[in-house]
Amino acid sequence: MKKWVIFILSVLFIVVLAFWFSCNPFSDSEVNNTFDVLDGSGSSRLTITCTIVVNGSTWDGGGQTITAVGMGDGSQDEGQKAIFSITNGTVRNVTIGPPACDGMHFMGGNSTITNVSVPDVGEDACTVKKPGTYTISNSTLNEAADKVFQINDLCTITYSRNNCRNIVKYVQQNGGMTWKCTVYIDGGTLNNISDCIGHSYSPSSIFYHRNISSNLDRSKWFRGEMQVYEY
Ligand code: ADA
Ligand code: CA
Ligand code: CA
């Protein structure tokens, strides 16, 4: 009798552990586990069901396309999951296919995104969530129903040689905030923008730009209270 009780308890314990370490649905912060499945199409697609957490390392997609399942629908609904959560790390060489959910989150340190393609931006493509020094370069981010890049915390951030088309805004600092962010926009082709390239309510923020190519009238490139300089 006692043996049976121990056996059942052991099985239960193993099942709970396996569940916990695959995808913990009770975690209310950024999801800290990944559960990645190659879907068998020549290893060129990667189906994920949790945020990929990059911390102190480089995540190189090798040209694969990510498909997120159960993480959001790529609409303007808040509360969708990030595809990547990046702390002191690099994400490169990957396509984020639709639904692109809440894109990529910068979570601190010195972090970089390069050569990432998002053909159909979700709620937004990349958000500064915590203070840090960040770079996004040589990436393509199209079809954004609102902004492409969102800044929600202190940072120095460089957007370098990124291309976008059919977007509302390229980058905005969170609404109503007056803390400082320093933004560099260096190059890139930004076409069919319905609002502006940069927007901020903060007089202490500085937006530097150079070599931008855009079919938006230059008088509409920057809107708001921030300082704007060509460099
Ligand atoms: C909107 C919203 C912000 C923030 C942002 C984001 O701009 O008003 O509070 O949530 O989206 O990070 O997606
Ligand atoms: Ca939002
Ligand atoms: Ca968002």
Average pLDDT score over residue span 170-196: 98
What are the pLDDT digits (tens) for 53-80? 999 999 999 999 999 999 999 999 999 9
| pLDDT confidence of residue 42 | 60
Ligand nearest 128 Cα, by number? 1
**If you measure from the C-alpha of residue 159 to the centroid of ligand 2, how many angstroms do you get, rounded to a whole number?**
20
pLDDT value at residue 8: 79
Give the residues surrounding ligand 1 with Cβ less than 6 Å away. 78, 123-124, 127, 150, 152, 174-175
- The first and second tokens of residue 109, run together, are 């340190």
Question: Omega before 99 cis (within 30°)?
Answer: yes
Closest CA to 189 of 163, 168, 219: 163
**Structure confidence at residue 19 (pLDDT):** 54
CB neighbour list of residue 25: distance below 8 Å, 6 or more residues apart: none
Q: Whose CA is nearest to atom 9 of ligand 1?
A: 174
Q: How far is the CA of 200 from the centre of ligand 1 (A)?
A: 13
- If you average pLDDT over residues 80-85, what whole number do you get? 98
Q: Provide the pLDDT for residue 16.
A: 64
pLDDT band at 44 (very low <50, low <70, confident <90, very high): confident
- Confidence (pTM): 0.85
- Cα 11 to ligand 1 centroid, rounded to whole Å: 44
